[in-house]
Structure 1
Amino acid sequence: MNGFNLLEITLRDILDVINPLREDWNVRFHIIRELRAVVESIESLRGATVEPFGSFASNLFTRWGDLDISIELPNGSYISSPGKKHKQSLLGDVLKALRSKGGWHKLQFISNARVPILKFEGRENISCDISINNLGGQMKSKLLFWINEIDGRFRDLVLLVKEWAKAHNINDPKSGTLNSYTLTLLVVFHLQTLEPAILPPLREIYPGNMIDDLTGVRAVAEKRIEETCAVHINRIKSDKLRIINRSSLSELFISFLAKFFETCSRASVQGVSPYAGQWEDINSNMRWLPRTYALFVEDPFEQPVNTARTVGSNQLMKISEAARATHQLLVSSNHSRTSLIMNLVRPQISHFVTRTPVRHQATAQSMPRTPSNNYIRKGVGTHQNASRKQIPGQLQQQFQNRRVDNGRNGTIMNGQLQNTRVDNSRNGTMSEQDKASPSQRHVWRPARER
């Protein structure tokens, strides 16, 4: 077996391990349901709704991914945002209610953050972040979900890159490294700058600064953004003249690391613009001046915000070295399956990957939801009854607030959670049966067209 075939198989085995199972969806649904009950008990939040966003909503989360929650205040039909002090006060009320109810762990109120956040752990040690009226975060999640509809390799690569980054301790903004949103945008950027490109510049999906367009009547603003994206994505997907990039997952992962290293090397003079789909000179981009960051990755939906603003100069060197060393290993001729696994996943995850050389589903099903050494010591038989079957129908009725939509793998979006299912494939891309019928190829459309 040559090195590239070994890497391809190993990456697929890693995806088998880190892809969410039915039970991983269920436990997050249960946390959301419990939080709704807590919020309903708080007088200052009467009429508020609890809505997930982030990687869970965009279907870019792993089995151990965090859960982001926005508490939406009953502001009528118009978009509005309470002041920072009001948000701090409301999150303080939530903190008191969670402590009173019990069952929540590691409660931490980060009141002075750019966006005040309440952090805690819920069932199965799932980390949760609560914010107030985070409509921008919800819309960003939708856009990333729709981008995945262009090419399913995007999702695979995001999951693999996030796990690799955790293995090298460079996915922790609190320590001056990268947050998961930045890693996702770097994957977008990589797929935009390939020859031929897999993803377009994001201005071809939404030609504007989305955050500035979230004004006025909420339903109207959301619909305008959603319909604009739908038109452009459908146009891109139906373009018969578009040259298809047929790179394998292993080829994409290797080239990502090379691009990532180059991005770090250019960071002193150039930043990443997923909106334009190219590097841009910092000194000639007035939006980015004065340059005070070690790395600049512009948020394409909230320009000119730098999503990599927490990265320090010393940590950038660590990030760059991780990309260089892993790339060197992957292109060498003397790597083994063991050396690949040790480099690409965390030690507590590698324990499971090494047991799945032929990707047996039963092995993946038996893994704990939290990759802690404590779980490993307990053994892997705890969740033998887990499966990748469809989410039970009763769960489809539990999330009937606005902005919950059907989508592949049960993603939370517009409307009601309908026809929710967890993809049985190892990587979340469409099966041959899905490809057979246009009606089965889910592309988001406005509700009136469904």
Structure 2
Amino acid sequence: MNKQSMLDVVLHDILHMVTPSREDWEIRLAIINDLRSTVESVESLRGATVEPFGSYVSNLFTRWGDLDISIEILNGTHIASAGKKQKQTLLVNFLKVLRVKGGCMHFQFIPHARVPILKFKSVRQGISCDVSINNLPGLMKSKFLLWINKIDSRFHDLVLVVKQWANAHKINNSKTGSFNSFTLSLLVIFHFQTCVPAIFPPLKDIYPTNMVDELRGVRVDAENLIAETCNANIDSFILNKLRRINRTSLPELFIDFLRKFAQIDSWAAEYGICTYTGQREQIENNMRWLPKTSAIYVEDPFEQPENSARSVSAGQLKKIGEAFQTTYNLLISNNQNQISLLTQLVPPHVFSLIVHRGVLPLPHSKHLVQNGRQGVNSNGLTSKRGANSNGSTSKQGANSNGSTSKQRANPNGSTSKQRANSNASTSKQGASSNASTSKQGVSSNASTSKQGASSNGSTPKQGASSNGSTPKQGATSDGSTSIIPTKGRQGPQQQAWRPKAHTQA
């Protein structure tokens, strides 16, 4: 398998594993309805609506993704405004009732953040929730990221891959001085604007003014104006027959993404990233960005001149640059296999799930990733005591052709309950080297895999709405987002699913 094919298989496996299932959507819908019920019982929040935003609305979250919630205080039909002090008070009132009602744990109130936030975990599978007050700008930014996926579905896939890679290198956490997920999405947008030929236009061609400045007056009118403008310009860009079409594969786009930012820590002092114009711009020539107070400048195109990367520290910027460079060097080298790729591209819990094709991660999977204490074979599968040379899994010993043996392989090819056939046996956990069928392993030639990806370089289709179609969207009676799925490419086993609507409890 060549480098390109191997990376293609690994990226497919990653997307298959992290793409939310129907259950993941339903759990979040249940949490939203729980919170709506709680808000109704808070006297100071009577009449307020509970509206999700962030990666849940933009369809850029993973199975383990956080849930961002805005409690919108109404002012009749008009967009309401609330000061920081009022937001803090309302969140405290909400927190008190939430504690009494139960169903949540690990509360953390951050009153002095730029946007005051209440953080906690739901007992429903431990999903983390961030609740803010009147965060309509956040909601509109999330919708925009959903809309531009209509231009090219590779945006959705690359964002999910980049988030997993950033988590693996611990550079996707603004609390520790690195990137937040919104900034990572902006970096992918910038990459799509600056590759040749360009996949995305400058964002000013989609929405020509500062979006947050338009969030005033009657709410439904303001939202409709933004939605109609964006969708009309997106459709115009898609239908432009004169534009050159970029047909670069996802692996190639990812490698070029890493290359583009491999020296980010060396040029960030002089240049900022502007997705509004689709260019790198000299900071000293951009009066909106002065004085420079952050290690790196990534302008929020919807709330100019805010810096979405303002939390990045100088020390973390150096670590970020090293992560880009290290991974890029691996992907262009000849010294790689599926294990080395996965350790660079996903955090340990995702690594274990992918290796075992959906089986719960092993208790010592962290050691497996970091130092191979349990043994990793050359084809990406795991051995409890040792790995054979072709990818099969053995509890005590591996035979010479890739079949799985619980004790020892019979040297003459006979089959028994405790012995593995040494020629054409079927393996449930190991990968067969002779065209056998594998349920969880990866076949080394032409075998059929129900959950794994084949190693012949083919790319199974994957992901929700990955054919460029955009889920239809509208407003429910409470102002929340209604998301209706359209048919698109599906993963090999796990069908992408989206809820019909966020209903009011």
Question: Hey, what's the Cα distance between the residues in 1 that align with 2:239 and 2:279?
Answer: 24
Deviations 1:385-421 (A, max 9, x none): xxx99xxxxxx9x975224223437xxxxxxxxxxx8
Q: Does 1:401 align with 2:478?
A: yes
Partner of 2:79: 79
Instruction: Give the fraction of aligned pairs with identical amino acids, expressed as a percent.
Output: 55
C-alpha displacement at 1:112, in angstroms?
0.6
State which drifts further: 213-222 or 107-116: 213-222
Q: Which amino acid aligns with 1:177?
A: S
Q: Is the Cα–Cα contact under 8 Å of residues 15 and 426 in structure 1 kept in the other structure?
A: no
Q: Which amino acid aligns with 1:174?
A: K
Partner of 1:92: 92
Q: Does 1:35 align with 2:32?
A: no
Partner of 2:103: 103
Question: Hey, what's the Cα distance between the residues in 1 that align with 2:493 and 2:240?
Answer: 25
Unpaired runs of at least 5, structure 2: 367-462, 465-472, 497-505
Deviations 1:112-146 (A, max 9, x none): 10000000001111110000011100100110000
Instruction: Work out which of the two has the higher radius of gyration on C-alpha atoms and give 1 or 2.
Output: 2
| Counterpart secondary structure, 1:112 | coil
Q: Does 1:345 align with 2:411?
A: no
Partner of 1:414: none
1:241-390 equivalences under 5 Å are 241-356=242-357, 363=358
Aligned Cα root-mean-square deviation (Å)? 2.4
Question: Hey, what's the Cα distance between the residues in 1 that align with 2:91 and 2:155?
Answer: 34
Question: Hey, what's the Cα distance between the residues in 1 that align with 2:213 and 2:494?
Answer: 32
Compared with structure 1, are the counterparts of its residues 423 and 130 closer, same or farther at alpha carbon in structure 2 (3 Å cutoff)? farther
| Counterpart secondary structure, 2:284 | coil
Aligned length: 388
Question: Hey, what's the Cα distance between the residues in 2 that align with 1:186 and 1:139?
Answer: 19
Q: Is the Cα–Cα contact under 8 Å of residues 205 and 229 in structure 1 kept in the other structure?
A: yes
| Counterpart secondary structure, 1:316 | helix
Partner of 1:63: 63
Q: Is the Cα–Cα contact under 8 Å of residues 118 and 130 in structure 1 kept in the other structure?
A: yes
Compared with structure 1, are the counterparts of its residues 426 and 151 closer, same or farther at alpha carbon in structure 2 (3 Å cutoff)? farther
Question: Hey, what's the Cα distance between the residues in 2 that align with 1:426 and 1:298?
Answer: 38
C-alpha displacement at 1:242, in angstroms?
1.6
Partner of 1:135: 136
C-alpha displacement at 1:264, in angstroms?
3.2
Q: Is the Cα–Cα contact under 8 Å of residues 152 and 428 in structure 1 kept in the other structure?
A: no
Partner of 2:125: 124
Question: Hey, what's the Cα distance between the residues in 1 that align with 2:15 and 2:329?
Answer: 22
State which drifts further: 267-276 or 398-407: 398-407
Q: Does 1:167 align with 2:168?
A: yes
Q: Does 1:193 align with 2:270?
A: no
Partner of 2:148: 147
C-alpha displacement at 1:79, in angstroms?
1.5
C-alpha displacement at 1:47, in angstroms?
0.5
Deviations 1:94-120 (A, max 9, x none): 100110011201111100100000000
Compared with structure 1, are the counterparts of its residues 260 and 334 closer, same or farther at alpha carbon in structure 2 (3 Å cutoff)? same
| Counterpart secondary structure, 1:120 | strand
State which drifts further: 238-247 or 160-169: 238-247
Partner of 1:208: 209
Q: Is the Cα–Cα contact under 8 Å of residues 21 and 422 in structure 1 kept in the other structure?
A: no
C-alpha displacement at 1:197, in angstroms?
0.5
State which drifts further: 398-407 or 195-204: 398-407
C-alpha displacement at 1:265, in angstroms?
2.6
C-alpha displacement at 1:8, in angstroms?
0.7
In terms of fraction of residues, the more helix-rich structure is 1
Compared with structure 1, are the counterparts of its residues 423 and 131 closer, same or farther at alpha carbon in structure 2 (3 Å cutoff)? farther
Q: Which amino acid aligns with 2:334?
A: S
Unpaired runs of at least 5, structure 1: 357-362, 374-387, 390-395, 410-420, 431-450
Question: Hey, what's the Cα distance between the residues in 2 that align with 1:367 and 1:90?
Answer: 40
Q: 399, 415, 424: which one pairs with 2:490?
A: 424
Deviations 1:312-341 (A, max 9, x none): 101100000000000000010110100001
Greater RCO, CA 8 A, separation 6+: 1
Question: Hey, what's the Cα distance between the residues in 2 that align with 1:407 and 1:254?
Answer: 33
Question: Hey, what's the Cα distance between the residues in 1 that align with 2:483 and 2:62?
Answer: 19
Deviations 1:31-57 (A, max 9, x none): 001000000011100101100000000
Partner of 2:450: none
